[in-house]
Amino acid sequence: MPAAEGQLADCAWSYGMKLSWDINDPQMPQKPAHFDRFCEWPDGYVRFIYSSEEKKAQRHLSGWAMRNTNNHNGHILKKSCLGVVVCAQDCALPDGSRLQLRPAICDKARLKQQKKPCPNCHSALELIPCRGHSGYPVTNFWRLDGNAIFFQAKGVHDHPRPESKSETEARRSAIKRQMASFYQPQKRRIREPEAGESQDHSRHFNNIPSLENLEGLDVIPDASFPVPGQPCLSFPNSDAYKATCDLTTFQGDIVPPFQKYSNPRIYLPRTPCSYELAGPGYTNSSPYTTFYKDAGSIPKDSDWVHLNALQCNVNTYSSFERSFDFTSKQHGWKPALGKAGPGERTDQGQFPPEATHPQYTPQPPCRYLATAPPTAPALQTVITTTTRVSYQACQPPALKCYDNVRDAKSLSSCDYASENTQMSIYPEALDLPAPVITASSPTASLPLKIPRDCWTVRQHSLPYPLGAAPSRTDGAESWEVCPSRLGSAVNYSDRVSPFFSCDNENF
């Protein structure tokens, strides 16, 4: 993944946004002056123009779990977001964060994935569908025209980021390597019980709670399943992630402990390693809490990731990324209310038709916590075969109040990624007429309003009966849920986007 700053800049200063075009235009801009750098986490109504040489663009990659959608147009590839898979119990990972897996793209694989249990608490996994586009999944369009690849995104993801594809691949490959290296040491361990080793990572296997855990892992053929006994040092980008191994911490864990990759989103079953996060922000973070339903089924999964990493160390790219995102997103409103940020587009003409609808207004940092749009057909379609049942069982916005830990998460939850900042800076949404913005969000006067000291449920997690969900047009109600005591966001202050003037203290 490119440097956070690089991506941020890429997304924020999209060249594609400076030109007037729509993916459905008969004629696309010819011979673009230059191209945008690939943005892995596009969010909002953004457009990019990539070089046809851009490999990632050629592959139509995205950090979001996007599946192909038939739009009956062979010239334009359309993809819709699948959302994110989380633990139905919203259990906290060892580090306090929440599980946020990348939904399998393949329907069959996804169903299988959802049948697996949360690797942390063994309760059911739940798919949080994306409904960021007027109640429907956010859609991405790709169109190759000449030497350019035009990309257009519609909708604002109303859910946490899942593990990115690259992360998933990295994790899986790492797991394979770990598995390979695990078995041998493990065998030795079984033969040589408790030898007293505690320093050597390769010997942490003996600390694995019980062999049953291992067996469980073995039984689960899913390569994505976290592998216990993985040395902390083997994680990718370990340099960025400050983790130490602490056998004592590990001991006592009954469930498959997690081992975190340098990348805060990735977790592996904890081995005798624990993490010593370097920053205050570590407390935990998953902002995206899932308060909805109680565990229902008894999954058996293994693929997991962690998402919010805010918690994770502040020194890591991720922490920065998130913190930055957070701030930028939080402040993203400011430009709309006041003056636009540098390079901000102002051509209303580019506004998506939906822009006039409240649902399309810029979302607050905690947009995924917002209530569902009035019409949420997604519940019937998107969730259909996979999570429909879950919704029925969902608890109402359980308005769970969280502790400081949660607060920390909220911070991270408010930001998606540096790349997402474009939403804060350029999105047409920012150009929305003031009336629309104010009507749709209480944050009109502030980047982020924190009406309560607690969060409410994510909109998609709400069990609104179809047609009964509160309308976003009402605006304010959508924001009832906001982070509280964001003060814990200590780490965010030093990375505030220059484009925004709001103080982090507000959060």
Q: Which residues bind DNA (CB under 7 A)?
A: 59-61, 66-72, 74, 77-80, 104-110, 112, 133, 136-137, 139, 165, 221-222, 377-378, 381-382, 384-385
Name the percent of the chain in helix, strand, coil, to the closest 5. Answer: 35, 10, 55
Q: Is 377 or 487 the residue whose CB approaches DNA more closely?
A: 377
- Torsion, CA 104, CA 106, CA 108, CA 113, rounded to 10: -10
Closest distance between DNA and the C-beta of residue 137, in Å? Answer: 5
CA-CA distance, 164 to 305, in Å (whole number)?
A: 9
Tally the C-alpha atoms within 13 A of residue 507's C-alpha that lie toward its C-beta: 37
Closest distance between DNA and the C-beta of residue 89, in Å? Answer: 23
Q: Is 104 or 277 the residue whose CB approaches DNA more closely?
A: 104
Which residues make beta-bridge pairs with 78?
69, 141
Rg (C-alpha) for the chain, rounded Å, is: 22
Q: Is 210 or 385 the residue whose CB approaches DNA more closely?
A: 385
Q: Is 164 or 289 the residue whose CB approaches DNA more closely?
A: 164
Closest distance between DNA and the C-beta of residue 132, in Å? Answer: 11
Closest distance between DNA and the C-beta of residue 353, in Å? Answer: 8
Closest distance between DNA and the C-beta of residue 284, in Å? Answer: 27
Q: Is 78 or 409 the residue whose CB approaches DNA more closely?
A: 78
Q: Is 38 or 282 the residue whose CB approaches DNA more closely?
A: 38
Tally the C-alpha atoms within 13 A of residue 488's C-alpha that lie toward its C-beta: 24
Q: Is 71 or 198 the residue whose CB approaches DNA more closely?
A: 71
Closest distance between DNA and the C-beta of residue 496, in Å? Answer: 33
Is the distance from CB of 313 to CB of 282 less than 8 angstroms?
yes
Residue 151 belongs to what H/E stretch?
A: strand 148-154
Query: Token match 């399943």: residue?
Result: 225
Sign of torsion over alpha carbons 341, 344, 347, 350: negative
Closest distance between DNA and the C-beta of residue 82, in Å? Answer: 9
Q: Is 387 or 504 the residue whose CB approaches DNA more closely?
A: 387
- Torsion, CA 47, CA 49, CA 50, CA 56, rounded to 10: 20
CA-CA distance, 47 to 268, in Å (whole number)?
A: 35
Closest distance between DNA and the C-beta of residue 69, in Å? Answer: 5
Strands of 322-411, DSSP E: none
Closest distance between DNA and the C-beta of residue 105, in Å? Answer: 4
CA-CA distance, 312 to 262, in Å (whole number)?
A: 9
CA-CA distance, 359 to 362, in Å (whole number)?
A: 8
Q: Is 80 or 420 the residue whose CB approaches DNA more closely?
A: 80
Is the distance from CB of 371 to CB of 462 less than 8 angstroms?
yes
Closest distance between DNA and the C-beta of residue 59, in Å? Answer: 6
Characterize 370-408 residue by residue with b for buried, 16 or more Cβ atoms within 10 angstroms of its Cβ, and e for exposed.
bbbbbbbebbeebbeebbbebbebbeebbeeebeebbbb
Q: Is 360 or 479 the residue whose CB approaches DNA more closely?
A: 360
